[in-house]
């Protein structure tokens, strides 16, 4: 494999988005630990599947947005492998087949461990990877991308990780999964906010295109605020340990990001805001998980 191809695969995989796959696994593992139900192999399998699913959806999005004429030289976001010619379409198709095969292999193990609920999550996750950008009604092109991200990087990933260890769910993990899902969704909101003009020109109807800039800003603020309200409400209304309030230490990271979204920056400068949103969301997940872990 040439250095050109290696650069292409790294570009297609979008490494900066991978915290979105790691963050949801941590609370599920930590809460299982607090219930004396932690199991290393299922957690490693869940993390591997989450990372591969994230990479698969990135490659598929790169491939199909190019095929549909959405990614053009005018895009203000990061370089795309197909549009820039870093990878051939044939190579990308082969890559998608290989990654999907790996995901299915891991899924077979997790189904063996946890049964039919994981089969349902696994099948819908793999199908949605391609429905996100492909098919007659692509989710990302019809204002459903935000909902897709919330479901699969929030409840499905967080609750799924907890379930493969414990074979049950509770209100804590469900609400934690909502927080994580909202923060991961905020990443795609920044991405789509940045691309409103080019997506509109390319016929890509994201939720940001539908809402417009003003309401997309409001969506971003609302996602973050609700996510951060969940831990203190769990502490106040249930017997959840106050250690989960460690997650609130990450609040200052959002202040400059709120300013960016409020109009301080635009265009390519929002790529830094996108990366900052991913990092702040991951720190929230790490601190939340640490709080759960030390509350034992």
DSSP for 218-276? HHHHHHHHHHHHHHHHHHHHSS--GGGGGGGGGGGGHHHHHHIIIII--GGGHHHHHHH
Residue 215's domain comprises: 3-294
Contact 252, 215 (CB under 8 A): no
In this prediction, the residues of the chain whose per-residue pLDDT falls under 50 are none
* pLDDT given for residue 6 in this prediction: 86
- 64: Cβ–Cβ under 8 A, 6 or more apart, which residues? 133, 134, 138
Q: Are 101 and 219 in contact (CB under 8 A)?
A: no
Report d(CA 79, CA 243) in Å as an integer. Answer: 41
Domains in the chain, number: 1
pLDDT of 148: 92
What sign does the CA torsion over 131, 135, 140, 143 have?
negative
**Rg of the chain in Å (alpha carbons):** 19
Q: Positive or negative CA dihedral for 165, 169, 175, 177?
A: positive
- Provide the residue count of the chain: 296
**Who contacts 40 (Cβ-Cβ below 8 Å, separation ≥6)?**
none
pLDDT for position 71 = 67
pLDDT of residue 178: 98
Inter-residue contact 128 to 56 (CB < 8 Å): no
């Amino acid at each position: 494999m040439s250095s050109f191809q290696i650069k292409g695969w790294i570009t297609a995989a979008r490494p900066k988005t991978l915290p979105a796959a790691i963050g949801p696994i941590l609370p599920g593992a930590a809460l299982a630990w607090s219930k004396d139900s932690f199991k290393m192999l299922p957690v490693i399998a869940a993390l591997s599947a989450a990372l591969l699913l994230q990479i698969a959806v990135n490659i598929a999005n790169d491939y199909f947005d190019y095929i549909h004429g959405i990614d053009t030289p005018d895009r203000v976001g990061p370089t795309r492998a197909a549009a820039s010619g870093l990878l051939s379409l044939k190579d990308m198709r082969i890559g998608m087949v290989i990654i999907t095969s790996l995901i299915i292999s891991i899924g077979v193990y997790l189904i063996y461990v946890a049964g039919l609920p994981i089969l349902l999550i696994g099948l819908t996750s793999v199908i949605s990877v391609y429905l996100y950008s492909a098919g007659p009604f692509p989710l990302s092109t019809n204002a459903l991308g935000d909902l897709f991200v919330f479901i699969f990087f929030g409840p499905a990933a967080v609750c799924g990780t907890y379930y493969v260890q414990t074979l049950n769910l509770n209100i804590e993990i469900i609400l934690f999964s909502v927080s994580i899902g909202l923060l991961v969704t905020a990443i795609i909101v920044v991405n789509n906010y940045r691309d409103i003009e080019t997506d509109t020109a390319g016929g890509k109807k994201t939720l940001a295109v539908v809402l417009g800039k003003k309401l997309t800003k409001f969506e971003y603020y609302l996602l973050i605020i609700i996510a951060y309200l969940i831990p203190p409400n769990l502490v106040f209304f249930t017997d959840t340990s106050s250690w989960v309030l460690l997650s609130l230490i990450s609040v200052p990271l959002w202040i400059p990001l709120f300013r960016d979204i409020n109009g301080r920056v635009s265009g390519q400068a929002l790529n830094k805001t996108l990366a900052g949103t991913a990092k702040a969301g991951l720190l929230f997940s790490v601190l939340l998980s640490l709080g759960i872990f030390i509350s034992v």
